[in-house]
Amino acid sequence: MEKRILLELRGRNPSQVKELNLDNCRGNAIVGLTDEYINLKILSLNNSGLTTLKGFPTLPKLWKLELSDNRISSGLNFLHGCKKLTYLNLSGNKIKDLVTLKPLEAFEKLKNLDLFNNEVTNIEDYRSKVFALHPSLKYLDGYDKDDKEAEDSDAFSGDSYEENGNNDSEEDESDDDVEEEDDELSLSEVYNENLEEESSASPLYEAEGYLDEEYDDFEDGYEENDANGEHNSKTQEGANTRENTEESTRGKKRKHEDDEEN
């Protein structure tokens, strides 16, 4: 079991672990699991060959404990260090009588208890007696007092999980929101500062002056182009006039020569 725990740690500190799966890890007793797991919320020890819970650590945040298919017949008092226990699965063990279940009265938050495939389930009026023994119970073997089957969200998460687990996540989310707001604020400030720097470096009147100067250059170029165009037009017109005059003179000369020959 100790080797399996070290493997599941993956180099993390025990106080950082919130969920631990030790299913099928063979051992008669709890070994290697200590009080250092102060933030552990979910622990699974199904089919691990456990015959006793002696040495079970104090886990103040544990809300879900899976112990199915072991050989546990007594010693539930060793779980008393898990005050927030909400879901307890003891199906497939060796529990025979109600006296063995009496230590569970100490768990005020216990909502879901599974004793399926234990001899205790054969006791007359078993269900009503267990509900009477543990008033906090909402579901026994997956059903409530009225034999209404629990929904998965109730049976496998537990009401207290929202109280014990989600509050932590909500606090984390609120911290994240504050950090995001701070980031947004700082980005906004930087953006505004950049705008102010740009405004101070290039005032509006300088920008307008630059545009006016650019427009004047464009207008001068446009007028020069017009003048060049008008000059070119007049030059072309003069050339056409000279060409017409020369053609007219040559025509008159040829006519005069024809008259002399006649």
pLDDT in the model for residue 59: 97
The pTM of the full predicted model, rounded to 2 decimals, is 0.62
Rg of the chain over all Cα atoms, to the nearest angstrom: 47
Taking alpha carbons only, the member of 95, 164, 34, 81 closest to residue 20 is 34
Edge-to-edge, what's the strand order for the sheet holding 112-114?
19-21, 42-44, 64-66, 87-89, 112-114, 139-140
pLDDT in the model for residue 238: 53
Determine the straight-line distance between the first and last CA of the chain, rounded to whole angstroms: 141
C-beta separation of 35 from 57 below 8 A: yes
pLDDT in the model for residue 16: 96
Q: Which residues pair with 87 in a beta bridge?
A: 64, 112
Distance CA 5, CA 20 (A): 8
Percent helix / strand / coil, the chain, rounded to 5: 55, 5, 40
pLDDT in the model for residue 36: 96
Taking alpha carbons only, the member of 43, 55, 133, 127 closest to residue 84 is 43
Distance CA 173, CA 3 (A): 35
Concatenated DSSP letters of 221-250: HHHHHHHHHHHHHHHHHHHHHHHHHHHHHH
Q: How many CB atoms lie within 10 A of CB 22?
A: 20
pLDDT in the model for residue 168: 47
Averages of pLDDT over each 10 residues, the chain, 262 residues = 91 96 92 95 97 96 98 96 97 97 94 97 96 94 94 54 46 46 46 50 44 49 50 52 54 52 48
pLDDT in the model for residue 151: 82
CATH class of 2-169: alpha beta
Taking alpha carbons only, the member of 165, 160, 166, 155 closest to residue 66 is 155
Domain residue ranges in the chain: 2-169, 202-262
pLDDT in the model for residue 196: 54
What is the H or E stretch that residue 97 is in?
A: none
